[in-house]
Chains A and B, each alone.
Chain A
Amino acid sequence: MNASKSTRVIQIALQIALAAFVLLPFFWMISVSLKPATEPFAIPARLWPQDPTLENYVTAFRPEFRTYFVNSMIVSGASVVITVVLGLLAAYSFSRAQLLIITVLMGGVVLAQMFPHSAIIIPFYKMMRAADLLNTYASLIIAYVSVTLPVAVWMLRGFLLKLPVSLEEAAAIDGASPLRIFCEIVVPLARPGVIATAVYVLIVTWQEFLFALSFTSTKEMRTLPVGLNDFIGQYGIRYGELMASSVMVSMPVIAVFFFLQRYFVAGLTAGAVKG
């Protein structure tokens, strides 16, 4: 075995070990979700249930779950649409205008990403209360757009910087107005960036817990991550149903990510190196 071959074998072994490390919690989540109520803490512990059952899924798929699911769909869907539209417009300006103020503003956008959610939740809460928006979809959508927009602008700007300006100039000479150039030339060509940004916003908003817990107070307005909390009671945790719910909550995002991962990876690295 020559040196390059053995290096390759070590690389693959390390990659398998890393993948196993990352995937183990997912595997355990699925395993527990298929175990009967008595088995999660059985000794000796089993990696895979002796008698797999879908009982936890049947119990977890209660009416509240469906309400939470719809709420999550509305809040995440609206956040994705609003963030991508605003992000595209902002990123287009940031990528094309050659003004000092634009550079300063882009610095502001980067700075806005640096505040953790826990640091901004109290002022956010006060604003939502003052605006009488607590326990509404609007409160969550506004919060989610606020926290995802800076990264969305940064991602989309990376994509737009790679689009040749000569295409927009050609369209201008062909007779197109600036709005038409944006809609018919820039947006279609930025589609991979738009998809990557939409996936990012979906992942962030779908799993968000802190804002959703703080801004909603009734079961009718709760989203899925907060709904999972229902299985954690004062006297115990219903692990089987909790894990079954977790699997169902994760599925849509995993499916979206699985089909669109190439756009997402491209989106995070766009503009990172000189093309």
Chain B
Amino acid sequence: MATVELSNLQKNFGAYTALENLNLCIEDGEFLVLLGPSGCGKSTTMRLVAGLEEPTSGDILIGGQRVNDMAARDRDLAMVFQNYALYPHMTVGENIGYPLKIARIPKAERANKVAEAAGKVEMDHLLTRRPAELSGGQRQRVALARAIVRRPQLFLMDEPLSNLDAKLRTVMRAELKHLQKELATTTIYVTHDQVEAMTLADRIVILNDARIQQMGTPAEIYARPANTFVASFIGSPPMNLITGTLAEGMFRHTAGQVAVDGAAGPVTLGIRPENISVSDTGDLTGTVYSSELLGDSTLLNIRVGDGLVAAKVGPDEGRAMGAPVGLTLNRAKLHLFDAETGDRRA
């Protein structure tokens, strides 16, 4: 177990900046998720920590020790790859035991540790199989067992669930979270799936365009997104962003107006779908574009002015396509962003 500190970390590939001046501290035993779209720099950050890439500038400290010049094999960390990276010519047992073999752990002790790690991921009955003979979920478990077998001070996980089907992903997510808490090992987890980030993380770091957009607990980020990028990235469906003008304590839009405090000027109003109620009249008016029954709720997409606004209502509150409706916005749940920069207004 260890703390991880990234200080002014920068990575350029020629003229392309993959990571710009990143500063980040990860607590001992913390489960930190790096979240962002493709090309935002999250995998680069992980590869820098792993020692698979060299930083252009800045420092990487693991357990207080600067590791910039240390080879990957000397950093005492384990990594789970997106494609699992299991050695196809070795059995499950040999795959799990490979880090121990390199560390010259005696055969008998190695066998015990392999059995223990395999048992933790319920793979102890398949130790003689080869990776090609396993399902996606089983391969994922082997990769996890190989990571935990030597109890490293840091786990790195690069989108480890992205190749699994939706049902298995949900099961593995719970198992992963349980395992991490049980082992209490510092973990950096990379994903572009906001549901994975929300459910797994102690703290989320949202990256975009090689920079940190926001850092915080899942609840903090959900409740107070720092800008329109974060607001539109977190939540399923994401937050509605409605552009308009703020004047005399009123947010005005072609489809209506709503009372909001703040300085006058062009703004973007944010409201989550579950904070909108739909009736015949309301703050904004529009027509139903689509109505999707989700089981426990109905998702209404409503054309408001030129854009669409999503509202999550009760399962019995579905509407016919084209029906005129009024939208009432929960005043306590409104978010106000600068229309130009996209940054949150206080």
Q: A-side interface residues toward B, CB under 8 Å? A: 164, 166-167, 169-177, 180, 185, 188-189
Contact = CB atoms under 8 A, between A and B. Distances in A.
A169 B72 contact: yes
Given A172-B73, A173-B50, A173-B72, A166 B81 contact: yes
Given A173-B52, A175-B102, A176-B98, 17 more contacts: A166-B85, A167-B87, A169-B72, A169-B85, A170-B81, A170-B87, A172-B51, A172-B52, A172-B71, A173-B79, A174-B73, A174-B78, A174-B98, A174-B102, A175-B73, A185-B87, A189-B88
B72 A166 contact: no
A188 B77 CA distance: 25
A185 to B, nearest CB: 6
B129 to A, nearest CB: 18
A164 B79 CA distance: 16
A174 B88 contact: no
Contact of B99 (A166, A167, A174, A177): A174
Nearest to B89: A188
Contacts of B79: 169-170, 173
Contact of A164 (B51, B77, B85): B85
- Chain B interface, >50% SS class: loop
Nearest to A181: B73
Contacts of A180: 102
Interface of B: 50-52, 71-73, 75, 77-79, 81-83, 85, 87-89, 98-99, 102-103, 146
Given A166-B81, A180-B102, A173 B87 contact: no
8 smallest A-B Cβ distances: which pairs?
A: A170-B85, A174-B99, A175-B102, A166-B85, A172-B72, A175-B73, A188-B89, A173-B79
Contacts of B88: 189
18 contacts: A164-B85, A166-B85, A167-B85, A169-B52, A169-B81, A170-B79, A170-B85, A172-B52, A173-B73, A174-B78, A174-B98, A174-B102, A174-B146, A175-B73, A175-B102, A175-B103, A177-B73, A188-B89
A189 B87 CA distance: 9
A175 to B, nearest CB: 4
B76 to A, nearest CB: 9
A169 to B, nearest CB: 5
Nearest to B104: A175
A189 B146 CA distance: 19
Contact of B78 (A164, A166, A171, A173): A173
B89 A189 contact: yes
B157 to A, nearest CB: 12
A104 to B, nearest CB: 19
Contacts of B98: 171, 174, 176
Nearest to B99: A174
A88 B88 CA distance: 20
A58 B122 CA distance: 66
B314 to A, nearest CB: 47
A98 B293 CA distance: 52
A175 B52 CA distance: 13
A170 B83 CA distance: 11
Given A169-B52, A174-B98, A176-B102, A164 B83 contact: yes
Contacts of B52: 169, 172-173
B163 to A, nearest CB: 13
B281 to A, nearest CB: 57
A171 B85 CA distance: 9
Contacts of B71: 172
Contact of A166 (B83, B89, B102): B83
Contacts of A171: 87, 98
Contacts of A173: 50-52, 72-73, 75, 77-79
A229 to B, nearest CB: 45
B115 to A, nearest CB: 18
A174 B145 CA distance: 12
A273 to B, nearest CB: 20
Contacts of B103: 175
Contacts of A170: 79, 81, 85, 87
Contacts of A175: 73, 99, 102-103
Contacts of B89: 188-189
A177 to B, nearest CB: 7
Nearest to A191: B89
Nearest to B71: A172
A177 B87 CA distance: 16
B180 to A, nearest CB: 18
A25 to B, nearest CB: 41
Nearest to B143: A170
Nearest to A172: B72
A238 to B, nearest CB: 51
A72 to B, nearest CB: 33
Contacts of A167: 85, 87
Nearest to B79: A173
Contacts of B87: 167, 170-171, 185
A176 B83 contact: no
Contacts of A189: 88-89
B152 to A, nearest CB: 9
Contacts of B82: 166
A111 B309 CA distance: 63
A170 B77 CA distance: 11
A188 B98 CA distance: 15
A162 to B, nearest CB: 12
A188 B94 CA distance: 14
A128 B50 CA distance: 51
